[in-house]
Structure formats: structure tokens, C-alpha cells
Chain A
Amino acid sequence: MTATLTTESLVVGRSARMRAVFEFLHVISNSDSTVLITGESGTGKEVTASLIHQSSRRKHHPFVPVSCALFSETLIESELFGHERGAFTGAIKDRPGRFELADTGTIFLDDIDDVPLSMQVKLLRVLQNRTIERLGGTRTVPINVRVLAGTKRDLRQMVAEGKFREDLYYRLNVLPVVLPPLRERREDIPVLMEHFLRQYFRKSGEEAPRVSDAVLQAFMRYSWPGNVRELENACERIAQTCTCGTVRIGCMSASILFRAASQPADLVVSAPTAPQQVVPIALDERIRELESNLISWALKVSHGNKSRAAELLQIKRSTLGDRIVRCGLTSHSSEEDSA
């Protein structure tokens, strides 16, 4: 179903966006309310759901993830609610649904945005009454299940378009968690890379090799439409194909390389060009801003190691020190001097 994204891999994010997510998860850890997790494919919705379950009071009870996109409209009902023998052709014995399997625990309804409207009504009724009826059955079964839902599309937008029931949306969106796409938290890319490379090289009993600056730059610039899962796959590929002991451009998927090359570098500062935008720009201030951005970038990709950062910027270590002070970036200085 889902790739091997692990809890650990989600937690290695250091960006402000991810820290905010973790803080919120911490706040809601004692809650029993419904959580709606919104995030593009590969951002770690199922990992987040499992993290929520693991930190809840239900952690010793079942966690049942189910992708609503995997089943056809008719199958999904029997999958979620179960069926009695003879309910339909091929129903040769009684079978409990995922809701019953998750009793006393947590169910994670992933791809809730793929649930057809006709099914949404039934789901709403279950969430309201906290009871289910198996397909072809007459017995009403009470269920004690915490519901988490995942969506890759904006459900509010789908409500506006008439593709998702408004009442179900409100029922689900009690505690909203939004997972940012990887391109909006690029500062996490080096850390995630290191994590996945170490993980995949460890599998083959090897130490993770050094990653060249060119590869790091290409990874930082690429837009990662498949998010963390795509990054993970890229690292797995490197672990399988790297033969020379250093991860270089030649180890990378060429499609990533070409697409990274077509992305404008993040660090380019655009000058105002449109005629209506002709306003004075303070050159010194803009240069200082650019300098500060570039230094922050170098410190970030070198994990706060100033000697390494100075190398990246092709300036002396001592010059970098002066400029850090001048740009007021002193907070970084505490992380360094491990070199």
C-alpha cells in the first residue's frame, strides 16, 4: 500500500513548518476527536496517522489504515462495514469490516477525497451514530473507534464544487493537520537525504558515502512532486547504484537532474521590472539581504559547519565569521566549531 516511509523519517524534519506540525500533534495527543490530515501524495499522511495513534490512549489497541481509493464503489462498503454470508455472490462467509477490526482502536481512512458521494452518506451516518451494519445484515453493531482521515485534495474546495458533502466535511475536519509539500520546506532535504541514505546503505551493511555538493544542489533545487516518498526512492536508487564511494551526479536519476536544471535557483533575487513597480530599491539593503540569504543557505546545507560553509561560498573561514556577525546571523554560531 504505502511505501516504507517511517515515523522516524517524518520526525527528522527540522523546518519551522514541520516543527509546527509536531507541536500540534503533541497538543492533540490526548484527544479522541476526529483528525483530518491534508497533504499531497508522499508527504507522510499515513505516517502522521500512525504517529497520532501511537501517542494516543488507544496505542495498545488496533490501528487500521485503509485506502478508500483502492476499492470500487461496491467493494468499499463491504470492506469498511463487512458483510454477512450470502450478502452478494462470492460472500461465502461472514466477514467483519475495517471498522469492526479497528474496534477500541483507530481507523485511518486515507484518500477520503476518493470516496464517491453515495458512499459519503453512509460514512456520515456511521460517524454520527457510531454504529455499523454489515452488508446483508440486520444487526446494528456499536463501534468504539477513533477516526482519522487523509486527503490529498482540499476538501473545502471539493465541497464548493459539490464533490464532497459539506456535513461530512465538518464531521471530519475537527482537528485539521496540514502537511507541507517538500518544496515548501527545502531546508529539510539535506537531513532527509542523509537519513534515507544511511538507512539504505545500512541495509547492505555499508556506511553511507559522502554526497557531493553538486548532487546536494540538484536535490535542493528539484521540486519533488512526489514529496518525501520520491526523495526516499531517489536515495534507495543511489544506494543500489553508487559504485565509487561518493554520491556524485552520475548516481542520480537523470530526469531529476534535468528537471532540477530547469528550475531557477532559489537564491536568485529578482529585480522589479514591471513599469508600475518602479520604486526605489535600497541597493545596499538588497545586497545585504542577498548576502544574508546565501550565508544562511551555506550554513544550512553544511549543518552549521562554518569551515564547510566558507568553502561553499568560496571565501575564507575568517571572512565568513565577520560577515555572519555583520548580517546579524549570530544564532548559527552556537551550532558550529565542530570542524
Chain B
Amino acid sequence: MTKQQVEAVIERIRPFMQADGGDIEVVDVSGHSADVKLTGMCAGCPSAHMTLYLGVETALREAIPEFDTLRVV
């Protein structure tokens, strides 16, 4: 699994995030795991963490068969 693959999935919702003054940063991809970080507007909101965690995890799993774990750092 490459960082580009992870970026490509996140890129799909990035325009919406950025329109709201936020973003998801792909911090690290190692093996079949990815570390992402929520920045900007929604970064401090616990609901947003849960929402984006579940959403991004589901989308990654659909797009990348070997994907294993997502960590929000």
C-alpha cells in the first residue's frame, strides 16, 4: 500500500474538507496501515474524529484490498 493510494482516496472528500477550512493530512503509511491527522476547523471536535475515522476507514477498505488499520494521530 502506497501513500499515493491513500491520498487518492482522501482526495475524494478533500475539496469538501478544504471548503470548510479543514483538511486530512496523511502523516505516514507503513505496511498496510495509515496514520492520518485532522487539521484546521474540525480538528478539535470529537464528533468529527469519529465521523472521519469511520468514513475514511470504510473508503480505504473499499479502495485498497490489502488495507488493514487506520490510526488518527
Contacts and interface: CB of A to CB of B under 8 A. Distances in A.
Interface of A: 212-215, 217-218, 241-244, 248-255, 257-258, 260-262
Contacts of B13: 249, 254, 257-258, 261
A19 B21 CA distance: 37
B54 interface: yes
A250 B45 CA distance: 8
Contacts of A258: 12-13, 55, 58-59
Interface of B: 12-13, 15-17, 19-22, 38, 41-42, 44-48, 50-52, 54-56, 58-59
Contacts of B58: 254-255, 258
Contacts of B21: 248
25 contacts: A212-B20, A217-B19, A241-B50, A244-B41, A244-B42, A248-B21, A249-B16, A249-B17, A250-B42, A250-B47, A250-B52, A251-B42, A251-B45, A253-B51, A254-B51, A254-B52, A254-B54, A254-B55, A254-B56, A255-B55, A257-B13, A258-B12, A261-B12, A261-B16, A262-B12
Contact of B16 (A217, A242, A243, A244): A217
Contacts of A217: 16, 19
A244 B55 contact: no
Chain A contact residues: helix, strand, loop or mixed: helix
Which 9 interchain pairs have the tightest Cβ spacing?
Answer: A254-B55, A250-B48, A250-B42, A241-B47, A214-B19, A214-B20, A249-B20, A261-B12, A248-B20
Nearest to A221: B16
Given A248-B21, A250-B47, A254-B54, 5 more contacts: A213-B20, A214-B16, A214-B20, A242-B47, A251-B48
Among B12, B13, B17, B44, which residue has the most Cβ atoms of chain A within 10 A?
A: B13
B55 A249 contact: no
